[in-house]
Amino acid sequence: MSTPSSAADHTPLAEYSREDLGTFLDEQRTAYEELKGAGLKLDLTRGKPSTEQLDLAAGLLDLPTTPTSPSGVDTRNYGGLEGLGELRAIFAELLGVDLDQIVAGGNSSLTMMHDVLVGLRLHGGVTSERPWVREEQVTFICPVPGYDRHYTMLAHHGIDMVTVPMLDDGPDVAACRELVKDPSVKGMWIVPTYANPAGSVVTQEVAAELASMPAAAPDFTIFWDNAYALHHLTEDETKSADILSLCAAAGHPHRAVMFASTSKITFAGAGVAFLASSTENVRWYLSHQQFASIGPDKVNHLRHLEFFGDADGVRAHMARHRASLAPKFAAVQEALSGLEGLGIAEWTRPTGGYFVSLDVVPGTATRVVELAKEAGIALTPAGASFPYGEDPDDTNIRLAPSFPPLAEVRTAMTGVATCVALAAAEKLARDAGTSD
């Protein structure tokens, strides 16, 4: 199997003569039959840490060495709803917040997001006039492409979604500014650092605009899902925008709620999640959480505290993750480079995070995914990065290279490039009236 060699002449496929297009199509059909004949069974669907990455945290299984925290807390007992103070201090430093602004919880930041959303719906927030459930309509701004679980959570609760483009420096601020003039627009999702799936990074300037823009809803809330803040793919580590300070300076101190976790740092099923916001929002969160929990898993908090030691320990651990992940992302870029010049695909070149966002010829993303599936390569469904799973242009595919071994990533991505080329050639041939 090989990536399309015709890309070397840098002639866009749309400019090929009918004869050359027919030849290219035949070449891709032949390559695709080879691909199917290889009997592959590969999976690039979800951004899970690999076994190699999980093994980096194997030392957790022998911890903690004592049930008592450095400050004397018996972690085996009830209490401490805000989480173990020493671990909160480490991640307060890493996330750039004050200690009284951060809560350490269970293993899932998604659960914390859901709890905040449900709390706002049932009770309203610090600046709410009424619970959201009593509003005639609740709408969220959703930058696209974006994280599918954010959208399915909103859909599950009957919350309307409106999209804005996710640009290289963050969400389209002008579009957001217009949308928040509508009082029904109550919230916004953002993955600010190495966004899922585009790899975009919200700049301090864009974050300042989002923090300061006038909103008709007094309780407009930014769900700042900083899931990949520490997941750098290069030694040039991007710093996250300081959204909490920006909101406070703009006179909207309660506007943003930040989420993060160690799910892709230690164990995905046994990490620690964090929530950070204004002290008033933290008190609001805990005031409702007290009816759902008597305290988080502080033994796991202590385990993580002993494993990391301090913030520098986390940074050193993430450098080991980088050594595992970076070659896989390089393999994605190498495979897709065979499409350069053909004008049939564009893709991101992230410097962190877990995904590559691939845009193919409009109207062919679903076909690419189908072709890949028939060849034994599982991809995330086309449109998954859009609300309701509906990409109006049928152009975007999220690639997740983290989980498979490097050799499988190389094989799978070579196959994906073949599927992209074949789907594009099929569509252009159909449009030209030259397909079989």
Give me the pLDDT at residue 320, please: 98
CA distance 190 to 177: 15
Reading the block at residue 137, the tokens are 């309509």
Reading the block at residue 280, the tokens are 């008033």
42-44/221-225 β-pairing: unpaired
What phi and psi values does residue 223 have, to the nearest 5 degrees? -85, 100
Rg for the chain, CA atoms, rounded? 23
pLDDT of 82-108, one tens digit each?
999 999 999 999 999 999 999 999 999
Query: Would you tell me the crossing angle of helices 85-95 and 311-336 to the nearest 10 degrees?
Result: 50
Confidence of residue 340 (pLDDT cuts 50, 70, 90): very high
Q: With the CA atoms of 19, 24, 27 and 28 taken in that order, what torsion angle do they form, in degrees rounded to the nearest 10?
A: -140
Tell me: pLDDT of 314 over 80: yes
CA distance 381 to 402: 17
Reading the block at residue 249, the tokens are 């300076």
59-82 b/e with 16+ CB inside 10 Å = b?
ebeeebeeeebeeebebeeeebbb
* pTM score: 0.95
Mean pLDDT of the chain, nearest integer: 96
Tell me: pLDDT of 312 over 80: yes
pLDDT of 216-228, one tens digit each?
999 999 999 999 9
| Span 256-269, average pLDDT | 97
104-135 b/e with 16+ CB inside 10 Å = b?
bbbbbbbebbebbbbbbbeebbbbbeeebeeb
Confidence of residue 7 (pLDDT cuts 50, 70, 90): very low
| Span 18-31, average pLDDT | 96
Give me the pLDDT at residue 350, please: 97
What secondary structure does DSSP assign to 196-230, as a single string?
A: TTT--B--HHHHHHHHHS--SSTT-EEEEE-TTTT
Among residues 367, 382, 371, which one has the least CA distance to residue 430? Answer: 367
Give me the pLDDT at residue 9, please: 57
Confidence of residue 433 (pLDDT cuts 50, 70, 90): confident
Give me the pLDDT at residue 46, please: 87
396-399 sheet: strands from edge to edge: 345-347, 356-360, 396-399
pLDDT of 173-196, one tens digit each?
999 999 999 999 999 999 999 999
Please list the residues that pair with 355 across neighbouring strands. none
What secondary structure does DSSP assign to 346-376, as a single string?
A: EE---SBSS-EEEEESTT-HHHHHHHHHHTT
Give me the pLDDT at residue 4, please: 55
Tell me: pLDDT of 5 over 70: no
pLDDT of 345-357, one tens digit each?
999 999 999 999 9
Query: Would you tell me the crossing angle of helices 406-432 and 365-374 to the nearest 10 degrees?
Result: 130
Give me the pLDDT at residue 401, please: 97
**What percent of the chain has pLDDT above 90?**
96
| Span 235-263, average pLDDT | 97
Question: Residue 223: how many CB atoms within 10 A of its CB?
Answer: 20
185-190/170-171 β-pairing: unpaired
Dihedral sign, Cα of residue 370, residue 359, residue 151, residue 225: positive
